[in-house]
Amino acid sequence: MDRKPDPLETRSKLAERFPRWTQPFWTWLTGIAMPDAKPLHRWTFGTHLGALLFAWLATLALGTWAVAALLRLVFGTA
């Protein structure tokens, strides 16, 4: 029976094979950071809340814009 590849071993091979500036991409793609990697962002309660509010307001604005555009199409008002 074949053994499953170790994710950290695979990630280390990517680090050896590709330049350092590509490592954030490989971390994003594999979901496995290098053992010596530091987080790019520190997520606190405030940053989570800010991201939530931004996403909520952007969705609300986009939905409002879409409904207004649909009503203009249906009723032909400018």
What are the pLDDT digits (tens) for 42-53? 889 999 999 999
- Write out the H or E segment, with its range, that includes residue 9: helix 7-17
6-23: per-residue pLDDT in tens? 777 777 888 888 898 988
Rounded Cα distance between 39 and 26, Å, is 14
pTM: 0.53
pLDDT of 47 reads 94
**C-beta separation of 6 from 30 below 8 A:** no
